[in-house]
Structure 1
Amino acid sequence: MGTKGAATLLAILCSLLLLSLSCGCLAPESEGDQTALLEVDTSWKAARKIPQTLFGLFFENCALGFEAGGPYTPSNIDPWSIIGDESSIYVKTERASCFSRNIVALRMEILCAKCPAGGVGIYNPGFWGMGHGFRKELIHMLVDLKPQFLRFPGGTFVEGILLRNAFRWRETIGPWEERPGHYGDVWNYWTDDGLGYYELLQLAEDLGAEPIWVFNAGISRNDQVDTTAIAPFVKASISLERSEWPLILYKDVLDSLEFARGSAKSTWGSVRAAMGHPERFPLKYVAVGNEDCDNTKPFYQGHYLKFYNAIRGAYPDIQIISNCDGSSEPLDHPADLYDFHIYNSANDLFLKKDTFSRTSRTGPKVFVSEYAVHVDGDTSKGSLQASLAEAAFLIGLEVNSDIVHMASYAPLFVNDNDRKWNPDAIVFNSWQQYGTPSYWMQTFFGESSGAVIHPVRLNSSYSGSLAASAITWQDNEDIFLRIKIVNFGPNAVNLTLSATGLEAGVNASRSAVTVLTSNDSLDENSFDDPLKVKPVKSGLPSAAEEMQAMLVPHSFTSFDLALDEYGELAADM
C-alpha cells in the first residue's frame, strides 16, 4: 500500500474514532434525557378522604434490665457495663433484693481510695427500662412523624419462641421493682418489663395516637395451646407460676381490656387508677396474635374465633384484627381488619407498590403493620435506595387507602450496642441518636392521614421508575396541594406538572419543595454523619398550576403548592 493510501486509511480511521468517541459521549446524555408529564385532577368530585389512621408506628418492646442471666446468681449484668477495673470496683449480682418478685440485686463496692478521673461505677448503654422513662430526644423524633396509631408491644416479642417466654401483660404493671421480668427469647435478652402494658398505653396517649394492643393468642413460634384449652387466655382470672403457663396460660384478654377501658371502680380499672391514671384509655383496636395464621399453627383460627366472640360481646366497638391475609382471597372468618407484613429487597418492594390495586373492596380493611426493605443476610443499615422503595410502596398505600386503613414501618428502634435486625428507622446508643433514610422518608407522609387524595396520571417512557400521588392538606395557616414523586432510577427526569380543577390560585411565595436524595443511592446515615441523607426544603418561586421541575436521580420529591382562598377550601375539606 502506498503513502497516499495509508494517509487516506489513517484519515478514515481517525474519523471513525472521532465518531465513536462522539457517540460514546452522547449516549449517557441521551439515556439521561428523560421526560414525564404528571397530571393531577384536583376537582373535589374526583377526590377522596384518606382514613385518619393511615400512618402510625409499630413499637417492639426493648426494655432490658441487669437480670440478663435470669433469676440465678452470679449472673451476667449485660446490657449494663462497668466503668473501672478490678482494682477500683467490684460488681456482682446476688439474690438480696428486698422485692420478692424481683429478687436479683446488684452489689457494687468501690475499692479505690483515689479513683480514676473518669470515675467508677456502672452504666446502661441506652436501653430502656428500670424506671421506664423515655429519652426526650427519641420521643421528639416520634412526634415529628405525626403518628396516628401505636401498635405494641410486638411483633415476635408478643409470641416468644416458647410460650413460657411470651409477653404477659399482668407481669408488666404495678411498681417496676415488683415486676419479675422475663426472658425475651426471640431477641435473646432479659427484659425487666419496666416498659410494660401501662407505659405503652401512656406513650400512645402522649403521642395523641390510637393504641393497638397486640396480645398473645396462645401461640408461640414453637408451641401452641389446643383450642379446647384456650379459655384461660380469653376470660379466666387465674394466677399461676410462670412454669405452669405452657399448660394453663395466665393471659386474659378481657382483663387486659378492663385494665385499659374499665371504670376506676372496676377490678382492673382500679389497678390502673392506683397507678395514677383514673381516666380510661381509649383502646379501640386489638390484634389477635402476631404472624400466627399459617400451616404450622393449625389452632389459630379456632383461637381467633374464641377471642373474637368474647371481645365483640364485651366491647362491641373494638376493632378486631386478624393475622390472616385477605389481600388475594376473602377471609373465612369475621374481622374488621387483617394484618399484612411485607419485607423485600428494594427492587422488589418498589414493584409491589400496586399490591392492593387488585384487592377486593369488600370485607375487612387492610393493616400493613410491618413493611420495610429487608433481606436476610444483608448488612445494610438503611440506605437511600431502601427508603425510595419504601416511599413508592407508601404512595401505593395512599392511592389504595379506600381499602388500606393503617400502615407502619418495622422495626422502629434499634440500640447500636445490640443490633439484632437491619435496617431500622431510628438508631440510638446511650447518648446519641439518628434517623435512617427510612425515618426521613416517613416525614413526607406526616400530613397524609385524614387528608384528601386526588387521582394522578403519569405519562412517561420512564414511568417504570416513577411513583406519584397528590393530596390536599391543611395546617393552621395554609392549605396545600402536595404532589409527591419518587424517582427510583439512575436518570434525571424533566417533569411537567399539570393540576386541573383547582378552585384556588397557587401562591408561589408560600410554596416549597422538599427533596430526599444523596450522591449515591447506597448512602447511609451514621453517628459520624447522622444527616448525610436528609430532606432539604427550599422555596418554590415557580409554583403554578402548570410548572416544570427537574427530578434528580434516586430521589423523593414533595412539591407543596400553597393555595389561596383558604377559608372556602377548608370548608370543603
Structure 2
Amino acid sequence: MMSLKIFLVYLTFFTVYCYADETSTLHIDASKGRKIPDTFFGAFFEEINHAGAGGLWGELVSNRGFEAGGQSVPSTIFPWTVVGDDSSIEVSTDRSSCFDRNKVAVRINVLCDGPKFCPPGAVGISNPGFWGMNIEKAHKYKVVFFVKASGWIDLDVSFIGSDNETLASNNIRSSDQNVTEWRRMESVLEAKATDHNASLQITTTKKGVLWLDQVSAMPLDTYKGHGLRKDLAQMVADLKPRFFRFPGGCFVEGGYMRNAFRWKDSVGAWEERPGHYGDVWDYWTDDGFGYFEGLQFSEDIGALPIWVFNNGLSLNDEVDTPLIAPFIQEALDGLEFAKGSARSKWGSLRASMGHPEPFDLRIVAIGNEECAMSKYRGNYLKFYDAIKHAYPDIQIISNCDASQKPLDHPADFYDFHIYSHANEMFSKHTIFDDAPRYGPKAFVSEYAVWQSDAGNGTLLAAIAEAAFLIGLEKNSDVVHMVCYAPLFVNTNDKKWTPDAIVFNSHESYGTPSYWLQHLFTTSSGATLLDSTLQTSSNYIVASAIEYTNATDKNKYMRVKVVNFGSDPQNFRFSVTGLDSKVQSSGATKTVITGPNVKEENSFSEPNKIVPQHTSLENASEDMNVLLAPYSITSFDLSYII
C-alpha cells in the first residue's frame, strides 16, 4: 500500500512537470498591427433585477406615485403600509391627482384628533423603499411630495430606522393657510444615525382628510449631481466603457406592447412620468432612469450612447408594417430630443431638463432579438429608410446575425448575442475567425457564461469569457463593439444570474466577470499587434496590443493570456520589430485566478476573486512565465522612448 502511495505522488509530480515543461509561445511582431475600433469595449444597461429602480437610480421611494397598483381604484399601494389602526386612520386611493398622466393619489382620512387621542407616533403611511432605505449619518436627503387637504396641514416627514429609532425628521405645517389645492412640498433631512434598512414615514395627528402623491426621497450626494447612486455609477465608470447601450434588452420590447418601454413617458419632470409595469421582468418602475438619464450618464462617463428603441414588436405581439408609421415618428422624435436644436419641439424639452446642447447620439438599434419575428424585416426597413433620410449620419443596428451569412437588408451593424456554458464560451473565441470581412460590422451586445457553470458569478465563467473577449479583440476588424450582460442585480430580485455587479441597499461588489473586463479597458483605440501562438495545448488563448496610458501618456504593450486548463502552463512571449527597448523596470503582471473554479465573490468576501497586481522584474522582449491553472494573466510592458 505504501509503495502505491509513493507511486501516485511520483505520478502527480511527473504529470505537473510534463505539463509545465511544455511551453506555449506567443510570437509578437510589434512593427505590424491594426487599430482596434475606438468603440470596442462598452457597457449595457437594462432595467432587469431592479438595476435602475432600486439600484443605479438614486430614488429611495418605491412606488412613489401610487400607480403600481393600476389605474382602477381602489387599488393596492404596496409596498406602502399604514401607520396606525383602522380606528384612527383610513387609507385608500382615488383618481384625484393633479398630474394628467398619474391620476392615482392616496387619500388619508385621519379619524383621531390630536396627540392625546392618536396612537403614539401619530398616524400616516410608511415606505420601506426597495428592501430597505440606506440612510447614513450626517448625509442629507431631499424629500419632495405633493399634498392637498380639507384644511391646513401639520405633517412630520421622518426617516425611521429598523429599530423604530427616528433617524431624521422635519415638520411641515401650513397653519397660516389651507391647502385645498395641490401644492408641492420640499424638505431636506439630515440623518443623525445610520440604518441600512430604514423607511420613510409621513405622519400627522391632525384630524381631517388629506391626499398625497408623487413622494420622492433622494440623497443630495449623487454621481456628478445627476441622481445616480454613486458607488454603482462609479463601478460602471471604472470599466471605462466607450459606449453605453440602454435601456434594454427585452425591457424595451415588453412581453406585450402595452408594457413596452416608451421613451416619451420617461422624460420631463419626474413627477409627471407615468411609469409602467415591466412585464418581462415582473416589476413596476417609475422610469426615473429614463431616456434623458441614459443619455446624461453616457456623457458623464465619456461613453457614446447607443439607444435601443421599440419597433412595434414585443415578445408576444406585433404591429403590422402598414400601421408602423406612428412608431417611426416616435423614434424620429426621440432622435430630435437627443440631437435636435434647443429651439426644436423635442430639443427644447431636453434643454428644459438642463441640457441645452445636443447629446452625441450616433448609433441606434431598431428593436432587440426580433429577427425571427414575421414583421421584423418589413418594420425594420421602414425605420431604416426614415431614419437615414432624416439623420443620414446615424448608424443603425440590425437584430439579425450576419456572422454566418449576409443580411438581406441594409445595416451598419448586426447584433450578436451569446449565453452559454463555460466550455462552449471558451470554444467560441474563434467564432468570428471566418466571419465575412465586408458589409456591416458585428456588435456583440450581450455575452455571458450562465446556468450551472456560472452560479452567481464564478471564476470559471470569467476565464471562459476572457478567452472569448481575446478572440473578439483579435477579430476587431469585424467586431467593432462588445459588452457584457446583464450589468446589475439587486440581490433581493435575482431574475437573471450571473451579473457583473451585485448590490443591496448599501453595498456592492463585482463578480469575477466584472473584474476581468478591467483587463480590456485599454483595448478600445489600441493597436492589435501581429502575433502567432505556437502551442500544443487546447487551453491557451493569447493576444498582444499596444496602447497609450491615459495617465503618463507613455506607450505600453499588454500581453493577455488565458489558461483554461486545470494544470499550470509554461508561457513565453517573444517580441520583435520594436522601435525602442522594453524597460526592465516598471512592468506589471496582473492575474485573475483562484483555488477553485467555482469560487465567487460575495458581500462578506467581495475581493476573493479580483485582479492581483505585482511588479514584473527584469522585463524584456523575451520572457518565460508560469501560468496558473484556470487563469487570465496580463503583462504590461513599458517602452524606453
What range is the shorter-chain TM-score in? 0.7 to 0.9
Partner of 2:24: 37
Give secondary structure in 2 for the equivalent of 1:513.
strand
Amino acid at match of 2:240: K
Question: Residues 113-192 of structure 1: matches in 2 within 5 Å?
Answer: 113=121, 117-119=164-166, 122=199, 133-192=227-286
Query: Contact (CA 8 Å) 2:339, 2:360: kept in 1 or not?
Result: yes
Partner of 1:455: 530
Deviation at 1:497, TM superposition (A): 1.7
Give secondary structure in 2 for the equivalent of 1:522.
coil
Query: Contact (CA 8 Å) 1:388, 1:488: kept in 2 or not?
Result: yes
1:549/1:172 CA distance change after superposition, 3 Å: same
Distance 1:92 1:173 in 2: 30
Choose the corresponding residue for 1:517, options 582, 590, 593: 593
> How many positions carry a matched residue from both structures?
526
Structure 2 residue 404 is the aligned partner of structure 1 residue 328: yes
Deviation at 1:35, TM superposition (A): 2.8
Query: Contact (CA 8 Å) 2:42, 2:481: kept in 1 or not?
Result: yes
Distance 1:486 1:150 in 2: 27
1:63/1:513 CA distance change after superposition, 3 Å: closer
- Could you report, residue by residue, the CA deviation over 1:338-395 in whole angstroms, capped at 9, with x for unpaired residues? 00100000110000001100001010000000000023x7771000110111111000
Amino acid at match of 1:271: L
Structure 2 residue 331 is the aligned partner of structure 1 residue 253: yes
Amino acid at match of 1:264: A
Deviation at 1:71, TM superposition (A): 3.1
Give secondary structure in 1 for the equivalent of 2:596.
coil
Question: Residues 75-90 of structure 1: matches in 2 within 5 Å?
Answer: 75-77=75-77, 80=79
Amino acid at match of 1:174: G
Choose the corresponding residue for 2:310, options 211, 216, 227: 216
Partner of 1:112: 120
1:106/1:534 CA distance change after superposition, 3 Å: farther
1:21/1:276 CA distance change after superposition, 3 Å: closer
Superposition TM-score, scaled by structure 1 size: 0.86
Amino acid at match of 1:481: M
- Could you report, residue by residue, the CA deviation over 1:167-197 in whole angstroms, capped at 9, with x for unpaired residues? 1111111111111111100000011111111
Structure 2 residue 374 is the aligned partner of structure 1 residue 298: yes
Give secondary structure in 2 for the equivalent of 1:507.
coil
Deviation at 1:97, TM superposition (A): 4.0
Deviation at 1:216, TM superposition (A): 0.4
1:25/1:521 CA distance change after superposition, 3 Å: closer
Give secondary structure in 2 for the equivalent of 1:484.
strand
Choose the corresponding residue for 1:487, options 560, 563, 569: 563
Question: Residues 334-483 of structure 1: matches in 2 within 5 Å?
Answer: 334-375=410-451, 380-462=455-537, 464-475=538-549, 476-477=551-552, 478-483=554-559
Partner of 2:210: none
Amino acid at match of 1:118: E
Amino acid at match of 1:36: T
Query: Contact (CA 8 Å) 1:93, 1:104: kept in 2 or not?
Result: no
1:133/1:27 CA distance change after superposition, 3 Å: same
- Could you report, residue by residue, the CA deviation over 1:396-418 in whole angstroms, capped at 9, with x for unpaired residues? 01000001000010000111111
Distance 2:564 2:84 in 1: 52
Superposition TM-score, scaled by structure 2 size: 0.77
Deviation at 1:230, TM superposition (A): 0.8
Ranges in structure 2 where 5+ consecutive residues have no aligned partner: 54-61, 111-117, 123-159, 168-197, 202-215, 219-225
Structure 2 residue 362 is the aligned partner of structure 1 residue 284: yes
Query: Contact (CA 8 Å) 2:453, 2:460: kept in 1 or not?
Result: no
Amino acid at match of 2:41: F
Distance 1:308 1:319 in 2: 10
Amino acid at match of 2:284: W
Deviation at 1:40, TM superposition (A): 3.4
Give secondary structure in 1 for the equivalent of 2:638.
strand
Give secondary structure in 2 for the equivalent of 1:510.
coil
- Could you report, residue by residue, the CA deviation over 1:150-169 in whole angstroms, capped at 9, with x for unpaired residues? 11110000000100100111
Greater share of residues in strand? 2
Give secondary structure in 2 for the equivalent of 1:472.
strand
Amino acid at match of 1:340: F
Distance 1:322 1:31 in 2: 49
Query: Contact (CA 8 Å) 1:150, 1:209: kept in 2 or not?
Result: yes
Distance 2:409 2:587 in 1: 48
Give secondary structure in 2 for the equivalent of 1:444.
helix
Query: Contact (CA 8 Å) 1:60, 1:412: kept in 2 or not?
Result: yes
Structure 2 residue 373 is the aligned partner of structure 1 residue 317: no
Partner of 2:142: none
Query: Contact (CA 8 Å) 1:70, 1:183: kept in 2 or not?
Result: no
Give secondary structure in 2 for the equivalent of 1:327.
coil
Structure 2 residue 136 is the aligned partner of structure 1 residue 58: no
Amino acid at match of 2:38: Q
Query: Contact (CA 8 Å) 1:34, 1:491: kept in 2 or not?
Result: no
